[in-house]
Amino acid sequence: MSRGALQPSQQKLAEKLTILNDRGIGMLTRIYNIKKQGQVWKACGDPKAKPSYLIDKNLESAVKFIVRKFPAIETRNNNQQLAQLQKEKSEILKNLALYYFTFVDVMEFKLSRRQSLTPFTRRVSHKHSLTKKLAVHRCMWYIRYIDLFLFSVLVGFILCHAALSSDAAALSLWKLALQSSSCLCLFRDEVFHIHKSAEDLFVNIRGYNKRVNDIRECKESALSHAGSMHRERRKFLRSALKELATVLADQPGLLGPKALFVFMALSFARDEIIWLLRHADNIQKKSTDDFIDKHIAELIFYMEELRAHVRKYGPVMQRYYVQYLSGFDAVVLNELVQNLSVCPEDESIIMSSFVNTMTSLSVKQVEDGEVFDFRGLRLDWFRLQAYTSVSKASLGLADHRELGKMMNTIIFHTKMVDSLVEMLVETSDIPVSPPCRYTAGTFTKCLFLPNIVPSNIQFNLRHHIGDRSLSLCNMFLDEMAKQARNLITDICTEQCTLSDQLLPKHCAKTISQAVNKKSKKQTGKKGEPEREKPGVESMRKNRLLVTNLDKLHTALSELCFSINYVPNMMVWEHTFTPREYLTSHLEIRFTKSIVGMTMYNQATQEIAKPSELLTSVRAYMTVLQSIENYVQIDITRVFNNVLLQQTQHLDSHGEPTITSLYTNWYLETLLRQVSNGHIAYFPAMKAFVNLPTENELTFNAEEYSDISEMRSLSELLGPYGMKFLSESLMWHISSQVAELKKLVVDNVEVLTQMRTSFDKPDHMAALFKRLTSVDSVLKRMTIIGVILSFRSLAQEALRDVLSCHIPFLVSSVEDFKDHIPRETDMKVAMNVYELSSAAGLPCEIDPALVVALSSQKSENISPEEEYKIACLLMVFVAVSMPTLASNVMSQYSPAIEGHCNNIHCLAKAINQIAAALFTIHKGSIEDRLKEFLALASSSLLKIGQETDKSTTRNRESVYLLLDMIVQESPFLTMDLLESCFPYVLLRNAYHAVYKQSVSSSA
């Protein structure tokens, strides 16, 4: 028929229906939002929540009038009824305008829809036969509309229920649909309970008792069997989609000829997911297991894989279908058009346009990146269907089914060229109707199923509704990262246990067993069972043997695959990076684990040995480094962030670090026990060792202070941590020096006289008797020496560690320190010393001690007075040294190269305290040490003349302190010592203590 024969209302039907379809979705959205916001439905259902206009008695008559006449309201003749309304007109319009215009638009939409569909009403009976003929082909093409098809069948036969009695095929189809679903989707999460609605309708119609029974049977069947049926469908689809995704990943060229199967698979999976989510919360279930699918993420994952293939290989599909359209579809369509017996002008023009458009296509357009647009062709097909569907149409599609089938195929092929993204949305986009709580619950269950963990990232790719989407996405990613972190922690625990088996402390038992086994063999007795050696766990008798560590690694690899699946995700203009979640959790857990592995117990003052902690930390780091094989994260950044924080006093969260824990332990536990006389420093062993006492200590000091342990401590704390340890040690020394200064002030007059009377023995003896707190001075100086000895061990260990890590830099610093000219300004020299000390190098003047003692300057005392006190402190120590000879514990032991009461540490204390104090007060260190040596020599020579054995029992051992002081000092020489103290006395002293040691051991 010609276009002129069309009535005005029948023209441009295709355009009208297209616009109305889009308009309808918009209207549904507006109504849906109004209901969800509760601004109309809630107000109308709850009298207390109703707007005041609807419950105002003065407006009651006006409201009734408006409701009765709406929307055609005549206001001119009803001024009295609407008078009160006019007073509040502006306020009412302001609050209710949104709803009013929405309802008006709905009415206009309804009218427009009815007018547009009127031309089709007379063609329904004729189209019925065409529908049957094209049913099979249309099912293939419209396969993605299964949910819509069910809706059409169920609702359509409710409205046209007469067909159920007259057509057995219709009844069978209707029953099948009723048995497969209990509720249908109206819009988003609004559902329609089909069984209840159908039963309520038919129960009131005479003669429909059989239909009512059919509905009840189908409802029972749906409740009993639909869940399991759809569960099996999802199970099949998981397997099918996995195979399809694997094949297409290997052979992407198959995407062209198999595109229909891809979109069918996507639509089937999409419909099954929607069915599950819709029924999970909207029906009474006989078996909840059928509605809790722990594997739903796996199905969504394979859908995402297929979608990714389509997006990635879009040009491949375009090339295939451009050739298909131009080389086959155009030829076949042209033949069909030529064979039409009747073809009106308008229809002929449209179909010729189809052929010409397809014939002009070429692969070069795809290669050149040309943008295709076949919307006009598809709209023309819609228009052609409209022309052939109106009354008195001379060309009817019902009589030319091959033409209809061909055009539907062509439309599908065009969408494969210009609408791949739209097709993906149409066939596989899951709408926003699924309840978030189901998704969240299912996600949590999925985390504990390792075989489907890689699919969990799909939960994050599916939520896009405002703040709820952001919170859910954040929660899912956080939970995934937590689960991965827990798996890594378990693996680390296993590896730490294995590493612990290799520690030297376990060798003793193995050696003991070997010795006992040999002796038992000789005597013929059966020994204890042989201990398993480390590494046995790696020996496998067969491939089926799976250890707990294997399971953890498998679960971790699959979970990390999920985290690594996408680098970033955009949700409502927010970017989420799954890997950053894992990195953050690893940093937090690594920090807690390191501190936890110290096993510090404040009550019992127990702590892990540094070497054992270092072994555990290295095992932990090895596991974390292996994470880079699973997921692309910068594990070095994690190490830097965590380990650098552990070198400070507190971490970024204000929590104690291993630096603070070990510093406190060494100061408050080990060094305090040294002060109490339970532990001694053995220079020969370069370690602190427990002394035999009545109260045995809970720890072995040697196991925490020997060179290997101090090196391990340096590895753990690093230069920053060791600097903090040194500063803490110096704080304790400064407090001791402050007390010593108070003792000097108490004896300042006597010390001043003794400083100038060292050549008058009798006068010195009289003055000495007037001194107070002599033992306290020596004890405090010994404590200072012990602390400095411990710091010396720590510095030496730090130097050894840094020499391994940065040998060239350490050697440069060492060379710089050793070549400072003597005339260098002291400020410059102290800067060099500070650099050297940070590298663990020993310095003539300890910069940390200088800083600590500098803070003690008092405002009430002049610099001259401070300098005098410093000089008298050295005098006090020098004249007090002879009293050490009367102490039983002052005996020198050649085996340990020291004294059991740690007085050998006085050598280090005297030299470093003198160097620091006289650097601060700008005095001559050498002159003051010479003065000290003269006073000490004179005082010690006096005890050689004593006849009381109790006061001279360890005289020789105390003599050796002078030699130690000189050996320790960079400012004194042996020549200077010999000028003050005869070397023959030192030689005889060494001979005596060695002889005494041999006789004691015998």
- pLDDT of 852-890, one tens digit each? 998 876 667 788 888 999 999 999 999 999 999 888 888
> Is the separation of the CB atoms in 276 and 234 below 8 Å?
yes
Write out the two tokens for 14: 């295709």
687: left (phi over 0), alpha (psi -120 to 50) or beta: beta
- CA dist 937 and 946 (Å) reads 15
Q: Are 613 and 665 in contact (CB under 8 A)?
A: no
pLDDT of residue 76: 64
DSSP string, 153-191: HHHHHHHTTHHHHH-HHHHHHHHHHHHH-SEEEEETTEE
Residue with tokens 């969260």, as numbered in its chain: 653
CA pair distance 712, 722, nearest whole angstrom? 12
For 511-543, b/e burial (b = at least 16 CB within 10 A) is: eebeeeeeeeeeeeeeeeeeeeeeeeeeeeeee
- Indicate the burial class of 193 (C-beta count within 10 angstroms; 0-12, 13-18, 19 or more): middle
Going by DSSP bridges, is the β-strand pair 183-187/569-571 parallel, antiparallel, or unpaired? unpaired
Q: Are strands 892-893 and 183-187 parallel, antiparallel or unpaired?
A: unpaired
Tokens of 740: 């010593």
466-500 and 610-626 are packed helices; what angle lies between their axes, rounded to 10 degrees? 130
**Helix or strand (DSSP H, E) at 196:** helix 194-202
State which amino acid sits at residue 379.
Answer: L
Q: How far is CA 507 from CA 495, 511, 534, in A?
A: 19, 6, 11
Amino acid (1-letter code) at residue 318:
Q
Q: What is the mean pLDDT of each run of 10 residues along the chain (1002 residues)?
A: 50 72 82 66 52 69 73 64 72 76 83 69 42 36 56 84 86 88 80 87 87 90 87 93 94 93 93 86 74 86 92 94 94 90 84 92 92 91 81 77 91 94 88 51 52 51 60 86 90 87 80 72 56 76 82 88 85 86 91 91 89 92 90 90 92 92 93 90 92 81 92 94 94 93 91 84 85 91 95 95 93 89 83 92 92 80 87 92 88 89 93 92 89 89 75 85 92 89 89 85 62
**Residues 44, 48, 54, 56: what is their CA dihedral angle, to the nearest 10 degrees?**
170
Look up tokens 């995402």; give the residue: 304
3-state secondary structure of 251: coil
CA 295 to CA 951: how far, in whole Å?
88
The single residue listed with the structure tokens 């006492």 is 693
**Is 958 within 8 Å of 940 (Cβ atoms)?**
yes
Tokens of 906: 């006085």
Of 703, 681, 928, the closest CA to residue 783 belongs to 681
CA pair distance 983, 971, nearest whole angstrom: 19
For residues 406 and 409, what is the distance between their CA atoms, to the nearest angstrom? 5
Length, in residues, of the chain: 1002
Distance CA(143)–CA(264), nearest Å, equals 6
**Residues 606, 904: Cα–Cα separation, whole Å:** 29
DSSP secondary structure string, 764-784?
HHHHHHT---HHHHHHHHHHH
The single residue listed with the structure tokens 């006597």 is 750
**Nearest one of 636, 635, 625 to 491, comparing CA atoms:** 625
| Of residues 707, 734, 668, the one with CA closest to residue 916 | 734
Q: Phi first, then psi: what are they for 572, rounded to 5°? A: 50, 55
Measure the CA–CA gap between 510 and 504, rounded to whole angstroms: 10
User: Quick one: residue 613, left, alpha or beta (phi over 0 = left, psi -120 to 50 = alpha)?
Assistant: alpha
* 898 three-class SS: strand
CA gap 928, 502 in Å, rounded: 53
Produce one character per residue of 879-910: b if its CB has 16 or more CB atoms within 10 Å, e if not.
Answer: bbbbbbbbbeebbbbeebebbbbbbbbbbbbb
| Dihedral, CA of residue 621, residue 626, residue 632 and residue 636, to nearest 10 | 20
Measured distance CA(372)–CA(415) in Å, rounded: 10
Report yes or no: 418 and 374 within 8 Å, Cβ to Cβ. Answer: yes
pLDDT for 450: 47
Q: Give one DSSP letter per residue of 366-409, joined into a string.
A: HHTTPPP--HHHHHHHHHHHHHTTSTT-SS-GGG-HHHHHHHHH
Q: What is the DSSP letter of 539?
A: -
The pLDDT of residue 131 is: 37
Strands 574-576 and 569-571 come out as antiparallel
Whether residue 43 contacts residue 50, with contact meaning beta carbons closer than 8 Å, is answered with: yes
pLDDT of residue 457: 52
This prediction's pTM: 0.72
User: For residue 157, what are its two tokens?
Assistant: 């036969």
| Centroid of chain to Cα 795 | 37
Q: How many CB atoms lie within 10 A of CB 45?
A: 10
Q: Give, rounded to a whole angstrom, the gap between the first and last alpha carbons of the chain.
A: 133
Q: Give the span between the Cα atoms of 273 and 853, in whole angstroms.
A: 75
CA distances (Å), 891 to each of 673, 675, 965, 994, 1002, in order?
20, 18, 17, 11, 17
22, 96, 99, 147, 223 from 33: Cα distances, Å? 17, 15, 11, 23, 31
**Nearest in space to 377 (alpha carbons), one of 318, 327, 424, 418:** 418
Query: What are the tokens at 663?
Result: 């510093």
**Chain centroid to CA 504:** 36
CA separation for the pair 467, 44 (Å, rounded): 28
**CB 115 within 8 Å of CB 9:** yes
| Sequence-separated (6 or more) residues with CB below 8 Å from residue 837 | 726, 795, 843, 846, 847, 848
DSSP lists the bridge partners of residue 682 as: 687
- Dist CA 21 CA 680 (whole Å): 93
Listed by start position, the domains of the chain span 13-122, 130-441, 718-1000
315 residue type, one letter: P
- Answer yes or no: are the C-beta atoms of 447 and 479 closer than 8 Å: yes
Q: Residue 438 has what pLDDT? A: 53
Of 830, 846, 841, give the one whose Cα is nearest residue 800.
Answer: 841
